[in-house]
Amino acid sequence: MRYWLLKSEPGDFSIDDLAASENQSTCWDGVRNYQARNFIRNEMKKGDLAFFYHSSCAEPGITGIVEITREAYPDETAFDHNDKHFDPKSQRSDPRWYVVDVQLKHKLEKYLTLAKLRQHAGDSLSALQLLKRGNRLSVMPIAPDDWKFILTID
DNA sequence: GCCAACGTTGGC
DNA sequence: GCCAACGTTGGC
């Protein structure tokens, strides 16, 4: 079992949007970065857990935990002319982009801000990709030790 | 294969 | 809104 972090702009799709979804589930579509795609397509397994992270907002941070409930399948939004994630280079015969399904496990009791995470950038979380400068990856693995540590942060 | 131009991400 | 970082594109 592996751990992940998934970014979403709350103005686009927030954890409350997920909570309000049918089965508290959604397909994680719109990822258009190859490194992130490779994680989704090749490495995410059913049962893996992921932090739900709110990015590009007033107070970025980890807001909840989701479970991967279905492994990779083609991203339909890439085929849809009317979707903002439409990609003419993705063909049904050779899909370029993939999604997984995720289901809400729970929101964190206390919103864990990026600022709070940064307090540990020098020691316990020194390897956390999220805290590296210039980090723009929207899907990234979290080491088990980092996952455990993050859950202990008050 | 190089690299400049451009677009996007995301924190602040 | 600004700007640094980074990925992608396209001419050569």
Tell me how far apart the 2 most distant CA atoms of chain A are, in Å: 48
Q: Which residue, A67, A7, A72, is CA-closest to A40? A: A72
> Is there contact between A60 and strand B, defined as CB under 7 Å from any strand atom?
yes
Around A127, how many Cα atoms within 13 Å sit in the side-chain half-sphere? 9
CA angle A77, A79, A81 (to 5 degrees): 90
**Strand B bases contacted by the protein (CB, 7 Å):** 8-12
Say what the pLDDT of residue A55 is.
96
Domains of chain A: 3-152 (3.10.590.10)
Q: What is the pTM of this model?
A: 0.94
Q: With a cut of 70, which residues of chain A have pLDDT below it?
A: none
Q: Which residue, A16, A18, A14, is CA-closest to A53? A: A14
Say what the pLDDT of residue A133 is.
85
Among chain A residues 74 through 133, which have CB within 7 angstroms of nucleic chain B? 114-115, 118
Say what the pLDDT of residue A38 is.
95
Q: Is A137 helix (H, G, I), strand (E, B) or coil?
A: coil
